Amino acid sequence: MEAFRIQERLILASGSPRRRDFLAVLGLAFEVRVTDIDETPLSGEQPADCVARLARKKAQAVDQPSAWVLAADTVVALDGEILGKPGDEEDACAMLMRLSGRWHEVWTGFSLFRQATGELCTKTVCTRVRFLELTPELCRAYVRTGEPLDKAGAYGIQGKGCFLVPEISGSYTNVVGLPMAEVLEALLHHKVIALMGEL
């Protein structure tokens, strides 16, 4: 049996298979609509502001008035600077060597939005992440797996990159791309889902 049941039509505005997996593992029925928006941070924009703005923008870009839309954006930040996806292997190596042996932050913003009623809830969650001290050889071996190339900050905490992170402080699912404790709370609060067994 599942713990939750869906009460409203829910759309996930994200192409991330990891975000999909989180909702799917909870047994929630939802649709996926991927919108194409410009994800470039504004000049001087703080990580928290950036992910909140982009999550809201992604949610509002889905034109399904009566449905609830869940959207999210995740960035990796080092000393307040947002790290994007690396352009090539050399770029990925340079990014990983900057993270090596240090703490950085992963910010996710998520929005839950219903166009018909104008209801909008946006939250941001930050997790601190400590990176392994990397040798240039270990860095290159990881980069050659190809995993860093489509990842913000040049690593994935799931998959082959799991050994790169000995320690985090905060939400793990937030680093993966969707802070599930906070998302579930928002879905329950707005009655998009209900506990199984409750009226």
Task: Establish whether 150 is a catalytic residue.
Answer: no
Bridge partner list, 129: 104, 168
The answer to whether 97 and 133 have CB atoms below 8 angstroms apart is no
Residue that has been written with the tokens 């997996």 in this structure: 21
Q: Which of 160, 177, 191, 199 binds a second copy (CB under 8 A)?
A: 160
Site string for a second copy, 10-49 (x = CB under 8 A): ------------x--xxx----------------------
The answer to whether 120 and 133 have CB atoms below 8 angstroms apart is no
The answer to whether 62 and 72 have CB atoms below 8 angstroms apart is no
Should residue 88 be labelled a site residue for a second copy when binding is judged by CB under 8 A? no
| Rg, the chain, Cα only | 18
> How many chain residues are in contact with a second copy, going by CB under 8 A?
42
Amino acid at 173: T
Stretch that binds a second copy, among 30-38, 52-60, 74-82, 171-179 (CB under 8 A): 171-179
Should residue 81 be labelled a site residue for a second copy when binding is judged by CB under 8 A? no
Q: Which two three-digit tokens encode residue 65?
A: 């008035």
Bridge partner list, 195: 4
Count of other CB atoms within 10 angstroms of residue 178: 25
Amino acid at 33: R
* From 63, 73, 88, 91, active-site residue: 73
Stretch that binds a second copy, among 86-94, 96-104, 113-121, 161-169 (CB under 8 A): 161-169
Residues 104-143 that bind a second copy (CB under 8 A): 132, 137-138, 140-142
Q: Which positions are annotated as active-site residues?
A: 73
Residue ranges in contact with a second copy by CB under 8 A: 1-4, 22, 25-27, 132, 137-138, 140-142, 144-146, 157, 159-160, 162-173, 179-184, 195-198
